[in-house]
Amino acid sequence: MRHTISLLVENEYGMLTRVAGLFSARGYQIDTLNVAPTLEEGVSRMTLTTHGNDHVIQQILQQSHKLIKVLEVTDMTAAPHVEREMVMLTVNAHVGEQRREVLSLVEIFRAKVVDVSNDAFILEMTGNAEKVNAFIELLKPIGILDIVRTGPVAMTRVAHIKAQKVKDDDEEFSELTLNEKV
pLDDT in tens, 61-89: 999 999 889 999 999 998 899 999 999 99
Tens of pLDDT, residue by residue over 11-53, are 999 999 999 999 999 999 999 999 999 999 999 999 999 999 9
SS3 146: strand
The string of DSSP codes covering 80-137 is -EEEEEEEEEEEE--TTHHHHHHHHHHHHTT-EEEEE-SSEEEEEEEE-HHHHHHHHH
* Inter-residue contact 67 to 19 (CB < 8 Å): yes
